[in-house]
Amino acid sequence: MAVARLTIDLRLPMARSLKDRRQVVRSLKDKLRQGFNVSVAELDEDVTWQSAVIGVVAISRSRDYLEGQMREVESAVVRIVSGLGAEVSESWWEYVD
């Protein structure tokens, strides 16, 4: 069994309050859960208005399947957050042993 973890750093330049930030993060998390059947969580401890770190985890028997899924999720995140007035500043994924 393989486990893949995707970490996404977001910049939220349009956020003017924590409420704005939460709205973007919650929307992204919900869309990823529904569209890809993955686990999604907010990872950053220091909450600032204009940044967020999101973690996405998936499990499968096939590493090839996970690689494709993580690439699709990464593309979807870029598409989703651009529509919400945010941007991906950095993202990376890896297998977890």
Question: pLDDT per residue over 51-65, tens digit each?
Answer: 999 999 999 999 999
The pLDDT of residue 47 is above 90: no
Higher-pLDDT residue of 44 and 67 is 67
Q: Return all residues near 54 (Cβ < 8 A) that are at least 6 apart.
A: 7, 8, 10, 25, 28, 29, 40, 41, 42, 43, 77
Domains of the chain: 2-96 (3.30.70.1120)
Task: Tell me what percent of the residues of the chain surpass a pLDDT of 90.
Answer: 82
At 14 the three-state DSSP class reads coil
pTM of the model: 0.89
